[in-house]
Amino acid sequence: MDVQLAKLIIEPLWHLHSTGFDFKGSPFVIIIDGLDECQGINVQSGLVSSLVAAFRHSPLRICILVASRPEIYLQSTFNSSSVRSRLARLALSNEYSAEEDIYLFLEDSFEKIKREHPLASYIPPPWPSTEVLHELTCKSSGQFIFASTTVKYIGGDPHQLPHRRLDVIRSLRPPKGENDMPYAELNSLYHHVLANVDDPEAVKQILGVLLVLNPILPKWESLSHFDWHRINTTHQMDQLFLWEPGETVACLSQLASIIECIPLSGRIDLLHASLSDFLLDPSRSSQFYLCRMSVLGDCAAYGLHHLRQKELDKHGVQFTPLGRLNLDS
């Protein structure tokens, strides 16, 4: 990598500098998009370190813009002493609201489909409605990948009616066969992120509580008149699954691009609203599928285990949880 960096970037810039080119008057920007998608953790971190080393003492006025998901190992690289002093961060998910831009993107894209699609004359006006645009914007959760995937599916096939494909996106009609995959790119993203975690089963346990158990607790409250508290913090997850404090944070640290753990409160936030649709659809999520009955069964087993512990403690019997509960025993 160092040789490639020297031959393809450093030496050409030095040659340009030797010709008298004014870097101060015309600053250069090197853009690295999708750093987290490079093959190999060491390659990603090594690229950052190599760039810092190459330009640390350079008189050239060079700005390097890196776009990446905030993977935990990349956070460590950027937090290192050699990089941190030269770094400026822009967290789009926290400091920038993309909803308005996403709405405009969708609006413009649908207008383009109505102008250019070969079957545009069959689209019933008005299409789409303002309500539908707001619905898709909301479902994007501030992430352009959902919006762009939606537009590509709706208008990308000249042999398919765009308005019918929009109905598929909105779950008003079923897809046409196994090869009709509305969210192929989004599926690929989620598979890529989830496939790189060290303990996928533990991650599925946490996501099962967030996406299956928590949404039905309000219904239980209305039926039983009992105050059911949602389990939506890392501390609560550790307690539920009888884990050591901090295990939930460690488990989710590899999913920083789709799940955020708020440092002080420990609240767990899903950054993509479409993650639920993916995980609850076996045709999309495959080995990461969350079966509702299995999740609720496991949660009930943990609940009974905690009740047993409470009764044992109440009668003076010492009970020490031995790591994670084995539900098969």
What are the sequence ranges of the domains in the chain?
Answer: 2-89, 99-182, 196-314
Question: By three-state DSSP, how is residue 51 classified?
Answer: helix
Token code pair at residue 9 = 């970037």
Across the chain, where does the E strand assignment appear? Answer: 28-33, 62-67, 259-261, 268-270
Within 10 angstroms of residue 283's Cβ, the number of other Cβ atoms is 10
pLDDT means over runs of 10, the chain (329 residues): 80 80 74 83 84 77 82 83 79 68 95 95 93 92 86 93 94 83 87 90 96 85 60 93 94 88 90 90 94 94 83 57 48
**C-alpha of 275 from chain center:** 8
| Kind of pairing between the strands at 268-270 and 259-261 | antiparallel
pLDDT of residue 285: 94
- Torsion on CA atoms 76, 77, 78, 84, rounded to nearest 10: 100
**What is the reported pLDDT for 227?**
52
